[in-house]
Amino acid sequence: MNKPEIDLNQLRKAISCLDSELLNIFAQRRQLSLQVAAYKLANKGDIRDESQEKKLLARLIDKGKAFGIAPNTTLTLFHSIIEDSVRSQYDFFLQEQQANQVQTTQVAVLGEPESYSHIALKNHFSTKRQQLRTVHCHSFMQIFKEVDNGSVDLGIVPIENTTSGNITEIYDLLAEHHLKIVGEEKLKVRHCLVGTEQSSIETLRNVYSHPQAIAQCKKFFLEHPHIESHFRSSSSSAIKLVAEYQNPSIGAIASEQAAEQSGLKVLSYAINNYQENYTRFLLIAKQKIDVPSVIPAKTTIALETGQQPGALLDCLQILKKYQINMSKLESRPIPTQPWHERFYVDLEANTNDGNVSKALMELEKTANTLHCLGCYAKHDVVATKLDTSIIEHSEHNQ
């Protein structure tokens, strides 16, 4: 017998229809999740119920098994869905706490549309109800000024990268301006080499981008010594340069989205030194926010200590005393006091917690100065873990 002829276009069309249905179902699920959040808020309930999540995941693994879907595949899919649900509920709780909610939020962002900062901003607002209006800035200083003078509601700035480290300019700007940290976002960064339609890696001689992007792609430049790197104020300004000159010897390092937006060609994907490359962004505003105690939060403080031996240790001992985890410690010189340092500390803590308030009061007495730069919702949603025996049992019975 002859095998029936396969119509690839029809198959792709059928898959596309199913994908649309999946998105529609996902959107409906999110709406139901927000109704659950409203019930929890009205009844002073916790956002997360780990035992309930474990039961749900165990049931889904069994159902997936009936369709021939491996347990780990089911877990990967539903961990992402649950993460979105939890984030949506966090945002619901936060927004319900805020009085005089605005319909449109204006945010200052570095670079043009589809810069990394802009992508992180869109991700951050994907579960929020406000409309987003962006004001594109040419420098971090301009972002801080726009927020400080009230021209915008928020600013978004990168603070650290997992491969190139801290962005020290942001710490210095935080010290210069009396602004508050009101949120964070983490973005997986995939740097692309971008050029014109006539460009190739062989024709390139000069590549432009933000200093952080170039630092994260050092290996590429070592492997291609005929290409020189040059700094620009943002990756999107580098893209603009390439689009304007249309010279096959000029390229940029930017996001794939930015290349598409500008009608340019991606010459090479993921040229960053390490593929697990993440940038953490901060949301800054003039006023602090109140984070409900049911939401896992971070608190960032800036403190200055005396010069005597053990001065910083005395402060850190207070955190140990109150069982507060310190997730980051960064020091920066104080320009007006040579050889003196200001310490920036990220705490996994909510200032609404009584123990945290006590710890901050003790720190204020121990340190020379203490400033709370903000308490804000933690970005990471920790996936609920199932006992390995449940997964192994399901895999064994497939």
Query: 259 and 203, same structural domain?
Result: yes
Query: 78 and 35, same structural domain?
Result: yes
Please state, in angstroms and rounded to a whole number, the distance separating the CA atoms of residues 283 and 296: 17
Query: 327 and 258, same structural domain?
Result: no
Closest C-alpha to 252, from 239, 266, 265, 267: 239
Query: What CATH number should be reported for the domain holding residue 368?
Result: 3.30.70.260
Query: What CATH number should be reported for the domain holding residue 16?
Result: 1.20.59.10
Query: What CATH number should be reported for the domain holding residue 235?
Result: 3.40.190.10
Question: Which of the four pLDDT bands, split at 50, 70 and 90, describes residue 397?
Answer: low
Q: Which domain holds residue 254?
A: 192-271
Contacts of 16 (CB under 8 A, 6+ apart): none
Instruction: Among 51, 70, 98, give the residue marking a domain's end.
Output: 98
Average the pLDDT over each of 16-20, 110-114, 239-243, 370-374 and give the range with the smallest value.
110-114
Closest C-alpha to 114, from 200, 173, 194: 194
**Tokens 């940038």, residue located:** 279
Please tell me the predicted confidence (pLDDT) of residue 63.
94
Residue 4: inside a domain: no
Contacts of 81 (CB under 8 A, 6+ apart): 26, 29
pLDDT digit string, tens, across residues 280-318: 999 999 999 999 988 999 999 999 998 899 999 999 999
pTM to 2 decimal places: 0.87
Residue 303: inside a domain: yes
Please state, in angstroms and rounded to a whole number, the distance separating the CA atoms of residues 74 and 78: 6
Mean local confidence (pLDDT), 31-48? 91
Query: 352 and 303, same structural domain?
Result: yes
3-state SS assignment for residue 361: helix
Residue 277: inside a domain: no
Number of domains comprising the chain: 3
Residue 339: inside a domain: yes
Helices and strands counted in the chain (H then E): 13, 15
Query: 94 and 20, same structural domain?
Result: yes
Residue 353: inside a domain: yes
Average pLDDT value over all residues in the chain: 92
265-268 β-sheet, strand order: 228-231, 206-209, 250-254, 192-195, 265-268
Please state, in angstroms and rounded to a whole number, the distance separating the CA atoms of residues 96 and 98: 6
Residue 160: inside a domain: no
Query: 301 and 244, same structural domain?
Result: no
Please tell me the predicted confidence (pLDDT) of residue 386.
79
pLDDT digit string, tens, across residues 164-215: 999 999 999 999 999 999 999 999 999 999 999 999 999 999 999 999 999 9
**Residue 226 in tokens:** 């005929």
Residue 161: inside a domain: no
Please state, in angstroms and rounded to a whole number, the distance separating the CA atoms of residues 358 and 323: 12
- Percent of the chain whose pLDDT exceeds 90: 79
If you count them, how many residues does the chain have? 398
Instruction: Among 271, 287, 322, give the residue marking a domain's end.
Output: 271
Instruction: Among 74, 98, 122, give the residue marking a domain's end.
Output: 98
Handedness of CA 145, 148, 150, 152 (dihedral sign): positive
Query: 16 and 93, same structural domain?
Result: yes
Residue 137: inside a domain: no
- Percent of the chain whose pLDDT exceeds 70: 95
